[in-house]
Amino acid sequence: MPSDVIVGRERREPMSFLRHTPKTLIGGAIGNVMEWYDFALYGFFAPVIAQLFFPADNRFVSLIATFGVFSVGFVMRPLGGVVFGFIGDRWGRAAVLRLSIVTMGLATFLLGLLPSAETLGPWAAVLLILVRLIQGLSVGGEFSGSVTYMVETAPRSRRGLAGSWANFGSLVGTLLGSALAAAITSTLSAAELVAWGWRVPFVAGGAVGILAFLYVRRLSDTPHMAHHERTHVDDSPLHEALTRNRRETLLAILFASGYGVFFYIPLVYLPTYASQFGGLDDGLALRINALGILVALPFITLSGWLSDHWLRRRTLLMLAFAMTAVLGVGLMWLAASNAMGLIVAQLVFALLIAIPLGAAPAMFVELFPAADRLTGYSLAYNLGLGIAGGSAPMIATWLVSASGLVVSPGCYLSVAALLSLAALWAMPDRSREPLP
């Protein structure tokens, strides 16, 4: 029996299995490598960036300002989702991949060349914000565009596995960023790191962007897009997502909000949290974070595969978020206790977050019909995961400062997990159905 036919169902999706090749998977994932390479670097070098662009006597004020700029980039993501979603729903998913990679690569390169506050004063912070806005606009369409591309080119029985490769690419980029940051932090003196060392990986990101564009520039579009071009009506994809598919959009936003906090607290914020509030060495915290990401990688694709063949996607995701709600506070306490506690917390977090990283991408795509799929997905993903997730490090830092409780980010994480759990409960599960 062909792999795209589910037992008891004879209806097939478009001939996507003929196009589902390693090239389409790599092409869809490569932009995510670059995207999260940059975002990981910013999170990991936050203390240095705070010192250079937001000098202040109070380290909390400086760090909150730095994470605030990190969040600013995410404010642009919904707009980027609408703009790139419209392009993808009207002119093709592959066009979105190419355009977003060029924009992201240029912005990452420029960030590494920005003058500090010592040179430009307050204008240095303004330029940093402008670069983050450009990056946020690009990211708003890149991730959802790549996931949609890979899931639409996959047979029904492999959609979860195909979608998981987007986040596999994201974590490879995060791993590259964390490994490079750890290497630079460990080999350079504190003075050299502040003077020029932190800039090197951002400038190198420009070269990564060039290579990524050369790879995706000749990718063809998906069969679902070709079918839509022959049959679509002249209605706005955004209007469709906010009217006809309003319920799906709202549930996706709620789910993505908790999911975003769940991603950014353990995988981006935790090294800073352990070093700032647990007294651990920065380099050691980064190396432990890199270990957690490395451990998570194979479980991402395994989770996508399990959601295709074992548990339906919604059930698998609900299990992961329920466990996070229960364990969140305890794991954050461990992370701030000592090096061994951070290792345990990082590894448990890595295994838990691997489940939504693997199973959630295909679920988002399956929620929406082809006519507004990329717009609806991009809008929901970027409003939820972008804004709630992007602001999570800043909010977590503020919670510790305001409450005096080192474990307060764990409470925040548990509440976010419960929000996603509630959204999943009400969400339709189409993990065994043809794409709408």
Task: Report the pLDDT averaged over residues 308-330.
Answer: 96
Domain membership flag for residue 14: no
pLDDT recorded at residue 134? 84
Domain membership flag for residue 8: no
The span from the CA of 34 to the CA of 10, in Å, is 40
pLDDT recorded at residue 8? 37
Dump pLDDT digits (tens) for 272-318. Answer: 899 888 888 877 887 898 889 889 999 999 999 999 999 999 999 99
Domain membership flag for residue 316: yes
CATH code assigned at 289: 1.20.1250.20
Is-contact 381 252, C-beta < 8 A?
yes
Q: In terms of pLDDT, which residue wins out, 142 or 22? A: 142
Average pLDDT, the chain: 83
Range of the domain at 153: 19-426
Task: Report the pLDDT averaged over residues 162-186.
Answer: 85
Is-contact 428 315, C-beta < 8 A?
no
Domain membership flag for residue 317: yes
The span from the CA of 241 to the CA of 379, in Å, is 9
The span from the CA of 133 to the CA of 81, in Å, is 13
Task: Report the pLDDT averaged over residues 97-104.
Answer: 83
Residues 6 or more apart in contact with residue 231 via CB below 8 angstroms: none
Q: In terms of pLDDT, which residue wins out, 51 or 303? A: 303
Q: In terms of pLDDT, which residue wins out, 188 or 220? A: 188
In order of 302, 303, 313, 331, the CA distances from 161 in angstroms are 8, 8, 11, 29
Flag whether pLDDT at 3 surpasses 50: no
Q: Which helix (H) or strand (E) holds 79?
A: helix 77-91
Dump pLDDT digits (tens) for 359-397. Answer: 999 999 999 988 888 888 988 888 888 788 878 988 998
Task: Report the pLDDT averaged over residues 146-165.
Answer: 88
Burial class (CB within 10 angstroms; exposed 0-12, middle 13-18, buried 19+) of 233 = exposed
Task: Report the pLDDT averaged over residues 30-37.
Answer: 80
Domain membership flag for residue 432: no
One-letter-per-residue 3-state SS of 94-137: HHHHHHHHHHHHHHHHHHCCCCCHHHHCHHHHHHHHHHHHHHHH
The pTM score is 0.79
Provide the domain count of the chain. 1
Dump pLDDT digits (tens) for 392-429. Answer: 988 998 999 899 899 999 999 999 999 999 999 999 99
Q: Quick one: which of 177, 192, 236 has its CA closest to 376?
A: 236
Domain membership flag for residue 435: no
Task: Report the pLDDT averaged over residues 209-223.
Answer: 74
Domain membership flag for residue 3: no
- The first and second tokens of residue 148, run together, are 């949609």
- The first and second tokens of residue 427, run together, are 């969400």
The span from the CA of 175 to the CA of 44, in Å, is 11
Q: In terms of pLDDT, which residue wins out, 35 or 229? A: 35
Task: Report the pLDDT averaged over residues 65-76.
Answer: 72
Q: Quick one: which of 406, 283, 301 has its CA closest to 359?
A: 301
Q: Quick one: which of 218, 189, 419, 221 has its CA closest to 322?
A: 419
pLDDT recorded at residue 220? 66
Task: Report the pLDDT averaged over residues 91-109.
Answer: 82
Q: Sorting pLDDT into bands at 50, 70 and 90, what band is 161?
A: very high
The number of residues in the chain equals 436
Of all residues in the chain, what percent carry a pLDDT higher than 70?
88
The span from the CA of 145 to the CA of 77, in Å, is 13
- The first and second tokens of residue 14, run together, are 């478009």
pLDDT recorded at residue 9? 39
Domain membership flag for residue 11: no
